Structure 1
Amino acid sequence: MDIGIGLPGHARWTDGTVLVEWARRAEARGFATLSVSDRLAWWTPEPLITLAAAAGATSRIRLMTSVLLAPLRANHALFAKTVATLDQLAGPGRLRLGLAPGLRQDDFELSEVDYGTRGAQFDRLLDRLATATTDDDPVGPRPATPGGPALLFGGTSKATLRRIAARGTGWIAGDATVEGVQDFTPHLRQAWADAGRPGSPRVVASVMYALGPDAEPAISDAIGSYYAFAGNEYAHYGISIAYTRSEQITAAIAAFDQAGCDELIFMGNDPDPAQVDLLAKAIDLNR
């Protein structure tokens, strides 16, 4: 199972160069993937711009949105151009797009994008993204990756299964639990088989972490405020399932591996780049 690391974009970062330093350290420490999350009504950095900076600061580590709120990108041709440009900057095979329709209505209100039709808009965007890989598309450039970057879809709905089976390479689960992965993957593999897809879908799970003496306050501050919109009960749940000790992290790796995950991504909650080194040490990446 691959191990990735997620930028602390939803935490209280104040200096964008810190996120670039996370990218450099993540590659130097041997993580398989660097991911970035997405929100509009928050201080989360714009994901594709952030990954462009990470692409320029690194050369090998894979880059992923985890997840991009796709329907907010209402100009589908411009989105396709942006993705193709980022794929060119990163180089073939490095970029993967984790995509989801989004849940927060305030993100859509601020974008002046209709929340109720976001699923249909999502599908139209995917159609346009596919067109961007063909020689007939007047919008350029073409992606560096043949066929365009790999697509993974978030969520557990029937529409998610449909999009994965028709267009995707797999599923990405945010704030994942082992039980949640075990519950959904049989439906995922069945949908994949029913569509006649060869092989098996990739399963990626992401979880929250912070390490060191200030881990628990960092988790409480970052996750508590991020999920406050859903009420105290949900915010406390998010805090409770985050990982703050090395032994929890090693146990999570074993459990998600046993559950059939292909990759586990630890999303940062403390902007200090030393968090990259602490995580690498906890899982002994450089052994």
Structure 2
Amino acid sequence: MGLMLAPQGDPAEVVGAARRAEELGFDFLACGEHVFFHSPTPNAFVALAAAAGATSRIRLLSALTILPVYPAALAAKMAATLDRVSGGRFDLGIGVGGEFPAEFAAVDVPVTRRGRRTDEALDVLTRLFAGERVSFDGHEVTLDPLPLQRPRPPIWVGGRKEASMRRAGRFGDVWVPYMYSPEQLAAGLATVAASAAEHGRGPVEGAVFCWTGAGRDGPAARRAAVETLGAVYRQDFGPLADRYVPGGTPEQVVARLREYVDAGARSIVLVPACPDTDRAAMVELFAHEIVPALRSSP
């Protein structure tokens, strides 16, 4: 079970948050990113490098690196370096982005080509991580040093649409959708498995990215989650919360998260859906009540 760094938090707070997440026993710490967005957002490679230096056990997941905004070789170099800096604790989560077109314009990448660029980049990353020689405009190069993990750091493929499922089956070790119901997760994992079989690959694990609002006062926790997500995504989350956002008392949240586990999620990225002032208390609640209950589930 993993914890998401504050999505709109100050990167200067990463070190303290990472140390506390490790102390609390989370399996992994996740960090998202954007070049530009309508709220403060860090760069995952840089933030997780800071977290790596402050911790020794917890795994580190980029959730998600917006892969098409990077030259593929640069993304490979940064991922390999971070894997070595962390002692082989890095998991590369990738997504195609697109919800904020301005960041694609800023890096001179057509937003309409983001899916194709992502597939091309994953092919290049896979080959570079394996130590293969790769040709760029007639220049053959190899990645040096290679990632510490062999044959590569685990690759998590994010997304909600069928293209992400096919991409996970072809390239990924984990498929991690967001704003998904347990029923959607189970159906999507069947598509991922079919894609993996088509490409002669073994099983791809399931995960889910879950905004979660938990508190002793269940209705208040749910209201706070709806308000928080409404501000983040700039839309009314009231009609969506019960379907996509586990919320309520710790017992209610555990029951809902178990439905995701039953649907095939082997990892859950917990994202506190609450005001910044309540985040620390909710993280403690996750660690002391919700995560242990899920780990003890049959």
Q: Same fold (TM over 0.5)?
A: yes
Shift of 1:86: 0.6
Within 5 Å, which residues of 2 pair with 1:1-287?
Answer: 3-10=1-8, 13=9, 15-39=10-34, 40-41=36-37, 42-73=39-70, 75-92=71-88, 94-104=89-99, 105-133=101-129, 134=131, 136=133, 137-198=141-202, 200-212=203-215, 215-216=221-222, 218-228=224-234, 231-232=235-236, 235-240=237-242, 241-242=244-245, 243-269=247-273, 270-271=275-276, 272-283=279-290, 285=292
Letter in 1 for 2:205: R
| CA shift in 2, pair 1:218/1:49, >3 Å | farther
Amino acid at match of 1:236: G
Relative to structure 1, is the Cα distance of residues 46 and 237 closer, same or farther in structure 2, using a 3 angstrom cutoff?
farther
- What displacement does 1:139 show? 4.5
The CA distance in 2 between the partners of 1:157 and 1:177, in whole Å, is 13
- Post-superposition Cα deviations, 1:192-241, rounded to whole Å, max 9, x if no partner, equal 2232223x21101111124447745653443112211xx43xx3345444
In 1, the alpha carbon distance for the partners of 2:162 and 2:286 equals 35
Query: Deviation string for 1:18-55 (max 9, x for gaps)?
Result: 33222212211111111112233131211111111111
CA distance in 2, matches of 1:89, 1:31: 20
Q: Which TM-score applies when normalising by structure 2?
A: 0.82
1-structure distance, mates of 2:239, 2:148: 41
Normalised by the length of structure 1, the TM-score is 0.85
Q: Size of the alignment, in residue pairs?
A: 275
In 1, distance between residues paired with 2:13 and 2:175? 29
Letter in 1 for 2:77: K
Identity of aligned residues (%): 28
Shift of 1:77: 2.0
- Structure 2: how far apart are the matches of 1:124 and 1:191? 17
**Judging changes above 3 Å, is the alpha-carbon distance between structure 1 residues 122 and 4 closer, same or farther for their aligned structure 2 residues?**
same
Q: Distance in 2 between matches of 1:227 and 1:53?
A: 27
CA displacement at 1:140 relative to structure 2: 3.1
Specify whether residues 284 and 80 from structure 1 end up closer, same or farther in structure 2 by C-alpha distance, changes over 3 A only: closer
Amino acid at match of 1:258: D
Do 2:33 and 2:63's aligned partners in 1 also have CA atoms closer than 8 Å? yes
The gaps in structure 2 that reach 5 residues or longer are 134-140
Distance (Å, rounded) in 2 between the aligned partners of 1:236 and 1:112: 36
For 2:232, the aligned partner's letter is Y
SS at match of 1:113: coil
Corresponding residue SS for 2:64: strand
Alpha-carbon separation, structure 1, partners of 2:291 and 2:164: 35
Following the alignment from structure 2 to structure 1, what is the Cα–Cα distance between the partners of residues 123 and 132? 15
Any gaps of 5 or more consecutive residues in structure 1?
A: none
Write the distance in 2 (CA, Å) between the matches of 1:101 and 1:262: 23
Stretches (4+) displaced over 6 A: none
